Amino acid sequence: MKVLVAVKRVVDYNVKVRVKADNSGVDLANVKMSMNPFCEIAVEEAVRLKEKGVASEIVVVSVGPATAQEQLRTALALGADRAILVEAADELNSLAVAKALKAVVDKEQPQLVILGKQAIDSDNNQTGQMLAALTGYAQGTFASKVEVAGDKVNVTREIDGGLQTVSLSLPAIVTTDLRLNEPRYASLPNIMKAKKKPLETITPDALGVSLASTTKTLKVEAPAARSAGIKVKSVAELVEKLKNEAKVI
Amino acid sequence: MTILVVAEHENGAVAPATLNTVAAAAKIGGDIHVLVAGQNVGGVAEAATKIAGVSKVLVADNAAYAHALPENVAPLVVELAKAYSHVLAPATTNGKNILPRVAALLDVDQISEIISVESADTFKRPIYAGNAIATVQSSAAVKVITVRTTGFDAVAAEGGSAAVEAVAAAHDAGKSSFVGEELAKSDRPELTAAKIVVSGGRGMGNGDNFKHLYSLADKLGAAVGASRAAVDAGFVPNDMQVGQTGKIVAPQLYIAVGISGAIQHLAGMKDSKVIVAINKDEEAPIFQVADYGLVADLFEAVPELEKLV
């Protein structure tokens, strides 16, 4: 079966971001960008499904700026077969991305779509669920285990109290949690081979998708800074401070 | 303006997260209705009528809504949503699972994890793991929002007297089914609602050493959390993880033991009132946010702390 994987280019997870002085957003000039960690897990899961003989083709797609080609090449180096870039402005809302992905799903007709559960920049945790709504497919969010069995997929989900397993009819949407797998590294030969794999670029207009949005960001601020605390010398001093100064125990 | 709050419930009781969500709805202003969807939820609906500030409880009692499968619950919420100005749910795994599906079906953006209400259409929410706070305005006809529960003080669970109305609509998409669940059992308070949280990280060394934290927590009446490093190393189950990708807590007192303080972890606990760090590495980033830091070997400090409190 065909598996579609969506990936996003985001600021690297190790970067401590700074808010711009004019409060218009976060300063991303000259900041290291990478594939969103949850998307890496999605690519890895697709590649493992192919290695098990479950998946026959892996198509990786990104909706974003031209520079997202780098992340698509990374996905190709990790084992995806071909890539699609829906070239659009940066900082789209989840619904706009879900609509673009819906158009790609209509075109490609995958049996399984795997996305990360959230992007570490917007922290929305919405796109997979929205794509499921637009396609009418079942959704298995926050997956820590995915097992395809015939025309169904069993997904074990991380929920607040523990784990829950659901069975979904294919085609279905799955979003990955951190514990689904440990993504591999791309080897140099695979990075070289990835340069020859097909990467198609299309526009939202060509897909007939409107990226209009019902929300707008008025401003972005730095969070209130915590004032520096003190170092105590002993456990006794710590307990004394907690009891008498902070009054929390 | 009328606001619909999708209730979170478990084991026949209203979950505390629902009370924080009603508090957020009260800040927006207007009538507040609560939807209780599930199977055999009469008791939950009864409890929901007593929540302060709620004027009506809608009850959708149907086998299709058991286990809150989003394929079935989302169409129900969408059908009801058209009569409301706002649809709110707590940013729990259930809320996050269902509400974006609702928003897409209504063709509106969803706003995730708000931490404050500026006005009926303007909200604040953290982005970049809590390293920036965005103020967003929605022009949607129905504003679909998840609420970060630690951002709002819970309303009283008693004292209200809402009317009950049954919702007949049954939506069964037939695309998904519940297979089973494995819930972690604990006698300690729930992590996201606890007044005191004791958390362990990689410095605990192994899962067995968490017993030191459990006995300290029991003495303090605290919940026990963990960093991602401790979860990934298999010391404790993942539902104990505090952080950007785990649970967000804001207790009165957070005690971080053997946790370095990565950005990902800080995102889940830096709104705690008082933060205590116990770590033998005095350069650990956790000391930059800790109100009280103790540079010491946790295996000596934690038992001593337990004795003294």
Per-residue pLDDT of A31-60, as tens digits, reads 999 999 999 999 999 999 999 999 999 999
Tell me the pLDDT band of A228, cut-offs 50, 70 and 90: confident
Tens digit of each residue's pLDDT (9 = 90 or more) over B230-253: 999 999 999 999 999 899 999 999
B135 touching chain A per CB within 8 A: yes
Q: Which of B205, B204, B202, B227 is nearest to B216 (CA)?
A: B204
Q: How large is the average pLDDT for residues B40-57?
A: 96
Chains A, B: CB pairs < 8 Å: 255
Distance in angstroms (rounded) separating the CA atoms of residues B291 and A20: 28
- Angle between helix axes A127-135 and B93-105 (nearest 10 degrees) is 50
In the stretch 62-91 of chain B, residues with CB closer than 8 A to chain A read: 67, 69-71, 74
pLDDT in tens, A199-218: 999 999 999 998 889 999 99
Decide if A248 touches B, using CB distance below 8 A: yes
The amino acid at residue B100 is: P
Residue B124's identity, in one-letter code, is K
A11 with B128: Cβ contact below 8 A: yes
Q: At what angle do helices A94-108 and B93-105 cross, to 10 degrees?
A: 70
Q: Inter-chain contact B74–A177, Cβ cutoff 8 Å?
A: no
* ipTM reported for the complex, 2 dp: 0.95
pLDDT digits (tens, 9 = 90+) for B121-148: 999 999 999 999 999 999 999 999 999 9
Nearest to B179 among A122, A141, A167 (CB): A167
Percent of chain B residues past pLDDT 70, beyond the cut: 100
Tokens (6 digits) for B37: 């969807």
Note whether B245 contacts A177, CB cutoff 8 Å. yes
At A67-106, the pLDDT tens digits run 999 999 999 999 999 999 999 987 899 999 999 999 999 9
Cβ-in-10-Å burial (0-12, 13-18, 19+) of B208 comes to exposed
Identify the sign of the CA torsion B290, B292, B298, B302. Answer: negative
In this structure, are residues A140 and A166 in contact, taking their beta carbons and an 8 Å threshold? Answer: yes
A 179-208 residues inside an 8 A Cβ radius of B = 179
